Structure 1
Amino acid sequence: MKKWKLSLALTLVSAVAISGCSQRPESASPAPAPTSGKESSNSNSMAKKTLSMMSNVADQPVQEVYRQILNDFSKENPDIAVNIQFPGSAYENNMKVKMAANDLPDVFDTHGWAQVRYGEYLADLKDEPWAKQLTDTIKNVVTDKAGKVYVLPLSEAKDGIMYNVEMLKKYNLEPPKTLDELIAAAEKIKKESGGKTTPFFLSGIDESTIGTYFDYFANSLLISPESNSAADLLKNTFDWNKWNVLPEKLLDIKNRGLINEDFLTAKRSEIPAAFAAEKVAFVLLAPSFVDAVNKIKPDMKVGLMPIPSMSTNDKPNFSGGERATMGIWKDSKNMAESKKLLQFFAKPANMTKIANVTKLQPGLKGIESKHDLTEYYEKYADIRVFPYFDRVYLPNGMWSVMSKSGTELLAGRITPKEYTANMKQEVERLRKN
């Protein structure tokens, strides 16, 4: 969901999106892979080098896979210890402090900002053996025009809309290809379910659920069409009247009764249970949502479809970019050992483990995976993937503006035109800073 967002408000939004606990002090002492906590080390008495590693991964099952891979690495490399930390919601603030002090971990996760935020701190990895395997959809994201490769992309996003597969079959619906078709499908589901299902769930508390709507459909409206506004957005000559369509459509969806009535007080954490109870049909969340639903209802099938186009003259798309990555601090005193660690993570068997637990696409070619969403990635393999809109076309800080203004819109405190005017004003202000 997800520019260098400096405002405190955005930090709070980011904290919602990444569950986690407070950071514990670093430790390089020998320790088995724990089942909880924020850090672990595969160090041992034979270790000659200790690498510091920090990851933005929040899901415990994914953390455990990382630890398994590190344990295997330590068996092959007994002279290298790796101290890994998972700070959770404190990750971005921790990294801000470390960048300000120019004292970063040997290896760290760029969580979507390899070039824009962390680029000047990262070593060039273009000569690494795995660099030639970068997928076509992630290569331009983690490589610049000069050819520098910033990170090893362990996983890349292809975000779309998660949906209840059996519910669409029940109501004789195909995955909608346009936003108008999606709205029509939602109305049919609500009507024929007798009001049991309110198709969309948004949270005014966890405003990222609202910001995601704007981020996804901004690509469909402004970037995906053959005649698009990409150049105008980058040159700051964009006609903001074109943006009005997005808040108007969202308000229309709300006025049709297709969003949960308690959206102002509802929490994002309530979505899996509501989906499992068939009270929700469509959600705009990451693939880990599947596991959250299946913990409640193991036999429920969750599907993934591309983000619908805004017109019949265009085609659906995915929003994507980096998810989990491993970059190396350019001033690391353990450069050779750090590269060896990345090479180990890049092994096909390890990349497969990560793909299967995250349900995400691996960032390297030739990696096999088999999980709940594999069939959808294969089905939609030819669908275009556009980088997250805010990361490319909006200045740092706009995610918070986009999300909070969406809540104000749905609460009736501002109009669609006022929403757009606020976007224009904040973009111009932030670009001057």
Structure 2
Amino acid sequence: MMKKWIMPVPFVTAAVVLAGCGGGSSSGENGELTLFSSITNESEKQAFEELVSEFEEESGIAVDVNLPGAEYESMLRVRMASNDMPDLFDTHGWSQTRYGDYTEDLAGEEWAERLDETMDGVLKDEDGKLYAFPLNQALDGISYNATLLEEYGIEPPNTFDELMEAMRTLKEESGGEVTPMFMAQSEAGAVAQYFDQMATPLLTVDEEENYEEELMNGTFDWSNYTFLPEQLKIMQEEELINEDAVTARGGQAVELMAQNEIAFIFAGGSFGADVTELNPDVEVGAIPVPSIHGEDGQRWIGGERHTLAVWNESEAKEEALQFLDFMAEDENAARIAEATSMPSPLDGVDVNHYYEESMEPYADVEVEPYFDRVYLPSGMWDVIGNTGEELLADSMTPEQVSDQMASEYQRLREEVGVEEGESLEDAEEEELSEEEVEELEQE
């Protein structure tokens, strides 16, 4: 059974690019829908834009699609502050806490009755309000080069110890030709992804090593986190990760795995399909994040990935709901889920996604929410990444990483007004002032 998630608001950087946002027509104007999505992968973009074009042709309704990539969150925050939201927008994991006040309740829509119950805790509140239409279900873990593992006689690892052993075997047996684990902190934030995903099996799923209550009420002892920076440092010292992990770009990974030069990566979605498209002789599989304290600690990390919410003050609400109906048609729901290599969130939609075969042995593995979205205050994602970078640059020891996480955790909790003993769910995001909005727009 999936847990109900309470998700604090993440940190949003001040770097904002307003192309397609500031100066554009307001929602519902000129007889067209405005739509913003956080989709970034090229193959996913292509599938989404093809579906939009088909909707336009079928309905006669124009859709202005905006896919701003890394600037998505900043652009949407500005639009929230000025109460000028797109007719349709992606809540990308924050449907209730960040965007909840701007979303139309979709519980009465016909497709809502077919929503997989595992999505309820993510997209519905206690009163039954449905905040967004999900395009797919996120199931994050580790992608692996199945071709390489078979060549070297390595089984997909189930525990962290098995993962470390597999990486050591790959390095030794390949004579250093294979990089066991590829991390790309630049753009992709993979160092932060390692910490965030592995924190779940370390801190929240084992009965004897469960710190959920302490993390939520501010009393967590961060020395219990030190295992993760210690292990990352070991990976670096043993050359189990790429030397340029801090500066490497995510886009490099597809080509490197297609050339059989890397074996593991904290990536999912359409990554595997993109690799095989580049080199049909390379197959990519996916496993849940490995357990740390015992055999039963494996978990998928995810829930809400790409969605479409309807702005509750949209002048084109009827047209926006019509677009969701179109996307919920079985064929269309299957196409977008397959393009993202993820299961459909709608019951009865048959999806043959890329990772289906490799995921089959883990069909009963539970899904847990992203660690930072539940247990950490706004701003901690950058802290996770920055401390990881400092660790790899030998500017911090593993213990210092934990100390920095502890101090920033407390500082940011206080910043949002949460006192020790209180839960993060009591935190509320502060609205931007007019001066702050103007500043962001100018940038």
Counterpart of 1:111, as a letter, is: H
Q: 1:316 corresponds to which residue?
A: 298
State which of 79, 85, 106 in structure 1 corresponds to 2:87.
106
Q: CA deviation at 1:167?
A: 1.6
Contact 2:290-2:297 within 8 A present in 1 as well: yes
Does the residue aligned with 2:377 lie in a helix, a strand or coil? coil
Contact 1:55-1:108 within 8 A present in 2 as well: yes
Q: 1:8 corresponds to which residue?
A: 13
Q: 2:48 corresponds to which residue?
A: 66
Contact 1:207-1:403 within 8 A present in 2 as well: no
Q: 1:181 corresponds to which residue?
A: 162
Closer, same or farther: CA 257–383 of 1 in aligned 2, 3 Å: same
Aligned CA RMSD, in angstroms, stands at: 2.6
Closer, same or farther: CA 60–273 of 1 in aligned 2, 3 Å: closer
Does structure 1 residue 155 correspond to structure 2 residue 144?
no
Does structure 1 residue 232 correspond to structure 2 residue 237?
no
Counterpart of 2:144, as a letter, is: Y
Does structure 1 residue 200 correspond to structure 2 residue 186?
no
Deviations, residues 118-170 of structure 1 (Å, cap 9, x unaligned): 11111111111111222233221111122111000011210111111122122
Q: CA deviation at 1:8?
A: 2.8
Does structure 1 residue 166 correspond to structure 2 residue 147?
yes
Contact 1:27-1:83 within 8 A present in 2 as well: no
Does structure 1 residue 221 correspond to structure 2 residue 202?
yes
Contact 1:203-1:263 within 8 A present in 2 as well: yes
Closer, same or farther: CA 206–191 of 1 in aligned 2, 3 Å: same
Deviates more, 1:69-78 or 1:115-124: 69-78
Does the residue aligned with 2:62 lie in a helix, a strand or coil? strand
Alignment map for 1:269-418 (pairs within 5 Å): 269-418=251-400
Structure 2, gaps ≥5 residues long: 1-6, 416-443
Does the residue aligned with 1:8 lie in a helix, a strand or coil? coil
Closer, same or farther: CA 177–292 of 1 in aligned 2, 3 Å: same
Contact 1:244-1:416 within 8 A present in 2 as well: yes
Deviations, residues 396-415 of structure 1 (Å, cap 9, x unaligned): 11111001100111221111
Q: CA deviation at 1:395?
A: 0.8
Does the residue aligned with 2:179 lie in a helix, a strand or coil? coil
Counterpart of 1:82, as a letter, is: V
Closer, same or farther: CA 101–22 of 1 in aligned 2, 3 Å: closer
Does the residue aligned with 2:252 lie in a helix, a strand or coil? helix
Structure 1, gaps ≥5 residues long: 16-20, 29-42
Q: 1:126 corresponds to which residue?
A: 107
Does the residue aligned with 1:282 lie in a helix, a strand or coil? strand
Q: CA deviation at 1:48?
A: 8.8
Cα distance in structure 2, aligned partners of 1:239 and 1:24: 43
Closer, same or farther: CA 102–24 of 1 in aligned 2, 3 Å: closer
Deviations, residues 310-360 of structure 1 (Å, cap 9, x unaligned): 023533111102111010111112222222221111111110010111111
Closer, same or farther: CA 22–402 of 1 in aligned 2, 3 Å: same
Q: 2:249 corresponds to which residue?
A: 267
Does structure 1 residue 254 correspond to structure 2 residue 259?
no
Q: CA deviation at 1:24?
A: 7.9
Cα distance in structure 2, aligned partners of 1:363 and 1:158: 11
Does the residue aligned with 1:199 lie in a helix, a strand or coil? strand
Cα distance in structure 2, aligned partners of 1:378 and 1:53: 34
Contact 1:207-1:404 within 8 A present in 2 as well: no
Does structure 1 residue 140 correspond to structure 2 residue 121?
yes
Closer, same or farther: CA 54–239 of 1 in aligned 2, 3 Å: same
Closer, same or farther: CA 147–162 of 1 in aligned 2, 3 Å: same
Q: CA deviation at 1:53?
A: 1.6
Q: 2:421 corresponds to which residue?
A: none
Contact 1:224-1:314 within 8 A present in 2 as well: no
Cα distance in structure 1, aligned partners of 2:91 and 2:322: 19
Cα distance in structure 1, aligned partners of 2:30 and 2:409: 50
Contact 2:10-2:373 within 8 A present in 1 as well: no
Give the TM-score normalised by the residue count of structure 2.
0.85
Give the TM-score normalised by the residue count of structure 1.
0.87
Closer, same or farther: CA 72–201 of 1 in aligned 2, 3 Å: closer
Contact 1:408-1:414 within 8 A present in 2 as well: yes
Counterpart of 1:239, as a letter, is: D
Cα distance in structure 2, aligned partners of 1:262 and 1:65: 32
Deviations, residues 257-306 of structure 1 (Å, cap 9, x unaligned): 21122334433332222222322110011322224423432221011111
State which of 44, 51, 65 in structure 2 corresponds to 1:84.
65
Counterpart of 2:390, as a letter, is: E
Equivalences, count? 407
Identity of aligned residues (%): 38
Cα distance in structure 2, aligned partners of 1:24 and 1:98: 8
Deviates more, 1:165-174 or 1:61-70: 61-70
Contact 2:158-2:295 within 8 A present in 1 as well: no
Closer, same or farther: CA 261–52 of 1 in aligned 2, 3 Å: closer
